[in-house]
């Protein structure tokens, strides 16, 4: 496995991370039910295989299948030496504004005393929501207290938008890691031509940068089927390579729930010869 240092956290993390959504959510992208014992076991085996192949970054949230993702990851990693793992979970304001209550339940499911990263589970930040999150006694101040109490080592923010409120959250200086939506179809966080975007911004602050929706959540594949219904090409390796070619990306999260998916993803990660130069890709003139 290839590793990198996650911004100013100093933590050594794998270039690809285990995204916990598919393992915990029923019928996510394809038919699957973690309440079914066979599917649950499939998720367990995927997590264990990921660790065996060197993946140490595991990302989950209580909202992924009402805690099922955390349960699967917690059971699969139970007993493994703590410093060999980087565990990230989240708190979503709409689901549980009490950070300590949410985190306590997450830790029980994860079978851990603490997590490495606790994140605001966000997508689109309105001015009103940002005010609520940042007010005295609000979610962010509770997260800071949780860090002070040793329940988490680092704090992070996740977002699927690039609006001013997302930058406002980043500018608080309270977060060590940012998790952004970034892929071939959503390149907004990184513009190698104009040298701008939230990833460029966070890199200058030495924040850790983690990407989600690496495979476009199936949107790219859906579009290809619309314009070329007979197409049978597997674009997953190329989509992964696109994200891993970004020099600012510490860890690219990949949603996995089978041993086969894990092994294929790790093989692509290790295939460095097929990385591309994003600068060359975006160059508009022939030199």
- Report whether 265 contacts 239 (CB < 8 A): no
- Report whether 240 contacts 269 (CB < 8 A): yes
| Cα-Cα-Cα-Cα dihedral sign, residues 222, 224, 229, 230 | negative
Nearest Cα to 61, choosing from 272, 217, 255, 216?
A: 255
- Report whether 179 contacts 166 (CB < 8 A): no
Q: How far apart are CA 34 and CA 207, in angstroms?
A: 34
Residue 229's CB is within 10 A of a number of other CB atoms, namely 7
Residue 197's CB is within 10 A of a number of other CB atoms, namely 19
Q: How far is CA 130 from CA 107, 134, 135, 152, 170, in A?
A: 26, 6, 8, 22, 11
Supply φ then ψ for residue 238, to 5 degrees. -65, -40
Active site residue 64: yes
Among residues 28, 64, 182, 190, which one is catalytic? Answer: 64
Residues with catalytic function: 64
């Amino acid at each position: 496995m290839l590793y990198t240092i996650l911004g100013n956290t100093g933590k050594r993390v794998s270039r690809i991370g285990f995204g916990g959504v598919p393992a915990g959510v029923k019928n996510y992208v394809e038919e699957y039910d973690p309440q079914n014992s066979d599917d649950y076991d499939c998720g367990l085996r995927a997590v264990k295989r990921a660790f065996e192949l060197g993946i140490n970054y595991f990302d989950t949230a209580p909202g992924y299948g009402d805690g099922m993702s955390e349960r699967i990851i917690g059971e699969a990693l139970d007993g493994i030496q703590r410093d060999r793992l980087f565990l990230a979970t989240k708190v979503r304001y709409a689901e549980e504004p009490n950070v300590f209550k949410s985190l306590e339940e997450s830790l029980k499911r994860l079978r851990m005393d603490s997590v490495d990263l606790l994140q605001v589970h966000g997508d689109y930040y309105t001015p009103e929501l940002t005010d609520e999150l940042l007010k005295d006694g609000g979610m962010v101040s509770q997260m800071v207290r949780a860090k002070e109490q040793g329940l988490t080592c680092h704090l992070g923010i996740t977002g699927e938008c690039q609006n001013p409120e997302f930058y406002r959250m980043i500018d608080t200086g309270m977060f060590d890691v940012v998790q952004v939506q970034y892929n071939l179809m959503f390149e907004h966080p990184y513009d190698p031509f104009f040298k701008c975007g939230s990833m460029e911004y966070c890199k200058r602050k030495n924040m850790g940068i983690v990407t989600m929706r690496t495979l476009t959540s199936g949107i790219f594949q859906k579009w290809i089927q619309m314009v070329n219904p007979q197409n049978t090409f597997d674009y997953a390796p190329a989509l992964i390579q696109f994200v891993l070619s970004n020099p600012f990306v510490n860890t690219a999260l990949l949603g996995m729930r089978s041993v086969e998916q894990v092994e294929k993803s790790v093989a692509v990660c290790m295939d460095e010869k097929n990385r591309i130069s994003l600068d060359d890709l975006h160059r508009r003139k022939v030199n």
